[in-house]
Structure 1
Amino acid sequence: MKWLALILGLFTATSGWASSAETSGTIQDLTTSWVGFAAIGIFFIAYMLVIFEEQLHLRKSKPVMLAAGLIWILIAIYYVGEGSPQLVEGAIRHNFLEYAELFFFLLVAMTYINAMLERGVFDALRDWLVVKGFGYRQLFWMTGVLAFVISPIADNLTTALIMCSVVLAVGKDQPKFVMLSCVNIVVAANAGGAFSPFGDITTLMVWQKGVIEFSGFFALFLPSVVNFVVPAFIMQFSLPHGRPYSHSDEMAAIKFGGLTIVGLFLLTIVTAVSFHSLLHIPPVFGMMMGLAYLQFFGFYLRRKSVSWRNGIDAPPGASVDPYNFDVFSRIARAEWDTLFFFYGIILAVGGLGFLGYLNMASGFFYGDLGPTTANILVGILSAIVDNIPVMFAVLTMYPEMSDMQWLLVTLTAGVGGSLLSVGSAAGVALMGQARGQYTFFGHLRWTPVIALGYAASIGVHFLVNG
């Protein structure tokens, strides 16, 4: 392999495609080299496969993980030929560390959400809404408000799926109600996630990077409310009249320990925030400590389960072990495809940044266009491409901006995905859950109204935080 690397190194040093900066031991701009063009091509093909995930039935993590590996292999071949392989090693380690922090943070959050799902916490909430006999307009606003309120604590994807299950349960005979409510839920979940590091991956990345303190994100609360309320207010006039018929009066019961797990999750959030704010320790360490809370509670439940099987601690009428709970089975049910997708995106975009493409993009967007225009375009781009690679690219560029502008790009990247149904994980998930009732073109019909809310939220941000 040494002779191959040497030949490739000589080729890149003498080729007209190669960069003019060839000082050994320094990172070179390879945007006009064969390495750069090949890397861009690989990333483009991989992302096309991600966009057509539903049609190809190919999980989105696979192409980006392969792309990340191929991009860094090309970079490594070039720098081995230049005699500076240590630069590549250091860059990979830096990007991998960023991913590792995000991975373990999300893994703990996903484990808690899965634990609450297993204990029936969200099922109980859904059934309560179904049996209360609310009208269509009341349910429209209640599911939207709950999506907005829950998503800052849980993530916007899980929140949207829970609220969609409510809408599908009560709107069986009203496809128009289902369609409008799903659009409203997507907008509300994305808006609610924009002002909390726990509500959206992009906001979490900004917080973990240390750009904005935890409490600083609450400055986006009012713009987020406006982003949700403006389109919801307009859409409500198209709702059907009356109230849905309740097919069942039964409510799912929360299993033993369900509310305790909710409390432990809130304590975990407090721990992560305190670690970061008071002790200047990365928040992921607080989240991992929070996982220990759940593990100890799981140990307590297992002891109760043993007692139940021995007939010592059996609730009256219980035919199934109410204490049966395994933390590691909850970890196993995490969204592994999503977690590995983040790996591929962070490493692939990191590779493009190492080649010099992000500096080029930063110079154009934040230099020529200015931060305000650039940050508004980031939100629009997030509706077409996924907001995660877009925000990671911005963080990798790290343009010089005020806190107000960093909050602006956090807001736009979070809520911009609502403009199209494919612009956010919540929208894509609901198209699958409410297949045939919530569609791309059905959402597209309301894009002008959502865009009005998008523009209004930016205006309010400048008015309140400018």
Structure 2
Amino acid sequence: MTTLTALIVAVFVLGYFMIAIESLTKINKAAIALLMFVGCWTIFMFDPGQYLAAAIGDKIPQAVSEVIEHHLGTTSTTLFFLMGAMTIVELVDQNGGFNFVRDLMRTTSKRSLLWRIAIMTFFLSAILDNLTTSIVMIMILRKLVSDHKDRIKYASLVIIAANSGGAFSPIGDVTTIMLWNKGLITAAGVIKEIFIPSVVSMVIPAFIMQYTLKGKLGYAATPQAATSASDLTARQRKVIFFLGVGGLIFVPIFKSITHLPPFVGILLVLGVLWTVSEIFYRHLGHTEEKGAMQKRVTNMLSRIDMSTILFFLGILMAVACLETIGVLVQLGQGLNIVFEGNHFLVTGIIGVLSSIVDNVPLVAGCMGMYPMTAVGDFAQDGIFWQLLAYCAGVGGSMLIIGSAAGVVVMGLEKITFGWYMKHISWIAFVGYLAGIVCYFVQRVVLGV
């Protein structure tokens, strides 16, 4: 490792540590993430030639610009997807769209609600994706749980269940989509082999967490839902609900038909929903218009949590620098050597690492390191690729910034890194290990 590489890694580790102690420093994590991003790439510019073959002489600025723009483009697709999904869900929620879901899940038992939340999140994340599912479930939770201390426990389980549910579905997580598109796993294969380990990785944490909840629920007040009833008719609210939720379900279908990135489908749904809601609201009178403005897309866009968006930008771009200098690939190769090709240990460690850095470059690095073979563990639906899909997806639950679901829930519910690490990380780790053991028994012992 060169001095420059060591400095970049040191900046990343220091920034990560500062994010971890946010509750002590009282410095917003977004500010630290942005400094990480700029710091890593600034050090990179001292000698980009050692990392980029094309960065020679006059071509250095152009080569660096192309690399940063490539990573920024990839990051932006995630950010636009996040902003679009948050706006769609907020629009549906503000207009009373989730009221019937809230009524369906309402119960006086805290433990009963925990299981309902876990099961719904798990299966919904397999149909949508873990990011969108987390946003939807947090909106529903806000209608059901008034006590913030209790709600962050439910929200933490949403992160675990969303990541577990996304791991067994070919469209449930970015990493499974990558492996599926590359032909390393098949839809039928990953569902058949990873479904039970994914269920185990969700059920065990839920079972442990139910003992932290006692007593009855005090429901959150829902004044927004009540005011929305006077603005739109019941039929109009249903139209907005089905356009919003149906549109989110349609996004993976749109991607498979057009082969366009998922954020394009999200923006299509947002555009349609925006147009329809404007048509509904334009018929309201002047007095009603003042209240309705709070529920129109233009107002909701101004309320997007930009600190979460900028945090995401900083983290992903800092990790992109680590990917560019080759640290992630070297790490993967080192793991393979140290553990002598034991795929359970290698993928298990990769899963733990995916809770620290973004799982997308980790999986991308593995796809580049290990070529697909005709037979064996590296064949299509082989043990390595299926374990990679499970570990990279579920492993992100161990730290709150280890997955897109965790980051968005962290922003929405103001959960601190330290609280999650103290109370939830070990629970997620137990479920993660149990899922790996379950897969080992399934594939190696029973030979299913």
TM-score by length of 2: 0.73
Q: Which residue pairs with 2:75 in the alignment? A: 99
Query: What are the residue-to-residue correspondences of 1:323-402 with 2, within 5 Å?
Result: 325-366=295-336, 368-369=338-339, 370=341, 371-383=343-355, 385=356, 389-396=358-365, 398-400=368-370, 402=378
Greater mean alpha carbon deviation, residues 37-46 or residues 259-268: 259-268
Whole-Å separation in 1 of the counterparts to 2:240 and 2:441: 37
Compute the displacement of 1:288 (Å): 2.4
Q: Which residue pairs with 1:63 in the alignment? A: 32
Pick from 234, 258, 265 the counterpart of residue 279 of structure 1: 258
Q: Which residue pairs with 2:135 in the alignment? A: 158
TM-score by length of 1: 0.71
Q: Which residue pairs with 2:121 in the alignment? A: 147
Query: What are the residue-to-residue correspondences of 1:12-411 with 2, within 5 Å?
Result: 31-32=1-2, 34-79=3-48, 82-83=56-57, 84-85=59-60, 86-122=62-98, 125-126=101-102, 129-130=105-106, 133-152=107-126, 153=128, 155-159=132-136, 161-162=138-139, 164-165=141-142, 168-169=145-146, 184-195=157-168, 218=191, 220-233=194-207, 252-253=225-226, 255=229, 256=232, 257-269=236-248, 271-305=250-284, 308-309=285-286, 321=291, 325-366=295-336, 368-369=338-339, 370=341, 371-383=343-355, 385=356, 389-396=358-365, 398-400=368-370, 402=378, 404=381, 405-411=384-390
Whole-Å separation in 2 of the counterparts to 1:58 and 1:181: 26
Residues 121, 259 of structure 1: 8 Å contact kept: yes
Compute the displacement of 1:112 (Å): 0.9
Letter in 1 for 2:311: F
Whole-Å separation in 2 of the counterparts to 1:421 and 1:412: 16
Residue segments in structure 1 that go unaligned for 5+ positions in a row:
1-30, 311-317
Q: Which residue pairs with 1:24 in the alignment? A: none
Whole-Å separation in 2 of the counterparts to 1:146 and 1:323: 32
Residues 86, 135 of structure 2: 8 Å contact kept: no
Residues 91, 300 of structure 2: 8 Å contact kept: yes
Cα gap change, 1:202/1:136 in structure 2, threshold over 3 Å: closer, same or farther?
A: same
Greater mean alpha carbon deviation, residues 280-289 or residues 106-115: 280-289
Residues 143, 163 of structure 1: 8 Å contact kept: no
Paired residues in the alignment total 414
Cα gap change, 1:362/1:279 in structure 2, threshold over 3 Å: closer, same or farther?
A: same
Q: Deviations over 1:293-339 (max 9, x none)?
A: 1221132123223xx338xxxxxxx8985586422322333343333
Letter in 1 for 2:67: A
Q: Which has the higher contact order (CA 8 A, sep 6+)?
A: 2
Residues 228, 453 of structure 1: 8 Å contact kept: no
Correspondence 1:450 to 2:431 = yes
Whole-Å separation in 2 of the counterparts to 1:456 and 1:296: 50
Residues 127, 251 of structure 1: 8 Å contact kept: no
SS in 1 for 2:369: coil
SS in 2 for 1:155: helix
Cα gap change, 1:251/1:309 in structure 2, threshold over 3 Å: closer, same or farther?
A: closer
Q: Deviations over 1:235-290 (max 9, x none)?
A: 657875x8658799999456434432332234434554344323333333323222
Residues 155, 193 of structure 1: 8 Å contact kept: no
Whole-Å separation in 2 of the counterparts to 1:57 and 1:70: 21
Residue segments in structure 2 that go unaligned for 5+ positions in a row:
50-54, 373-377
Residues 151, 159 of structure 1: 8 Å contact kept: no
Compute the displacement of 1:342 (Å): 2.9
Greater mean alpha carbon deviation, residues 286-295 or residues 151-160: 151-160
Residues 366, 374 of structure 1: 8 Å contact kept: yes
Whole-Å separation in 1 of the counterparts to 2:103 and 2:301: 26
Greater mean alpha carbon deviation, residues 371-380 or residues 245-254: 245-254
Whole-Å separation in 1 of the counterparts to 2:80 and 2:170: 15
